[in-house]
Amino acid sequence: MERAKMIRLFILVLIISLGALIWTFSGFKNDFQLGIGLLMAILTGLWLISLVIKDASIIDVFWGSGFVIIAWFYAFQNDLANMGFREMILLSMITIWGMRLTIYLAMRNLGKGEDYRYAQWRKDNGEKWWWLSFFRVFALQGFLLWIISATYLPSLSTRAEMGILEYFGVLLWIIGLFFESVGDYQLAQFKKDYNNKGKVLNTGVWRYTRHPNYFGDATIWWGFFFFAFAHPQGWMFVFCPIVMTFFLLKVSGVAMLEVKLKESKPQYLEYIRTTSSFIPMVPKK
């Protein structure tokens, strides 16, 4: 079996195991079970739309708003009307991050055809892609979204005051949102200039990290996690930001994109030599 397939299989088994752990042993299993039902109902509808428009990449646009939906659902299940300042701060953070990402991806992707990854899978799988896309794209990403968003469960089921860990989480969220949003904006502006075709963006936040948007996204998730410590079982959910960071680094983010960029942009090898891949650092000379 290819190494990449073995890694994907390991990740899938790990995610299923984490889901089973929370389902069985945590004090949040009722809300957790309802959460997967809600997400799968929404994603089934989204899958049906993708069959009509022949574009599976609409899942990418949904990704950010999916976390917003599940967070507000968990809040509703835990008496939204009586939530305090701490819980509303967290909901605001999730909503701002998730909707910014959804709006950005909608403006970038919609109306421009199917993403090259899904288009290649469609080509490779032929007539069976219509049903295979549900499991390989929509159900899989829905399951991943469900697992990662589990960190909201202890955070939103607890009534507590803002403490030092929550304020640290807010700080991480601010840093992450800065790198993610500024990185996305600078890249969009760079791509607008036809003269930059084939060139490497190495200014602004891209001067300090080759993937400021991925670094920002991971940092935001660590910020969300620090709100979970208000609950006695909160520490259990450290796997949520770990899984997200791992995916951004090794699966669908940095690792996948770097392979393509090395092939398409000769200058990228020099960029790799001078610039940190993930954590922002002063460039090497």
DSSP H or E segment with residue 167: helix 164-192
**pLDDT beyond 80 at 45:** yes
Task: Flag whether 282 is in a domain.
Answer: no
Give the pLDDT of residue 68. Answer: 98
Task: Flag whether 260 is in a domain.
Answer: yes
Kindly tell me the burial class for residue 126, based on how many C-beta atoms sit within 10 Å of its own C-beta (0-12, 13-18, 19 or more): exposed
Host domain of residue 30: 3-274
**Mean pLDDT, to the nearest integer, of 90-102?**
98
Task: Flag whether 283 is in a domain.
Answer: no
Query: 236-260 pLDDT, tens per residue?
Result: 888 899 889 988 988 777 877 888 8
**pLDDT beyond 60 at 143:** yes
Task: Flag whether 284 is in a domain.
Answer: no
Q: pLDDT confidence of 22, banded at 50, 70, 90? A: low
Q: pLDDT confidence of 102, banded at 50, 70, 90? A: very high
3-state helix, strand, coil in the chain (%, to 5): 80, 0, 20
Give the distance from CA 271 to its chain's centroid. 25
**pLDDT beyond 70 at 206:** yes
Task: Flag whether 16 is in a domain.
Answer: yes
Give the pLDDT of residue 1. Answer: 43
Task: Flag whether 249 is in a domain.
Answer: yes
The number of domains in the chain is 1
Sign of the C-alpha dihedral computed for residues 205, 252, 147 and 42 taken in this order:
positive
**Mean pLDDT, to the nearest integer, of 152-179?**
96
Task: Flag whether 285 is in a domain.
Answer: no
CA-to-CA dists, residue 39 to 68, 118, 139, 221, angstroms: 11, 21, 9, 19
Task: Flag whether 40 is in a domain.
Answer: yes
Length of the chain equals 285
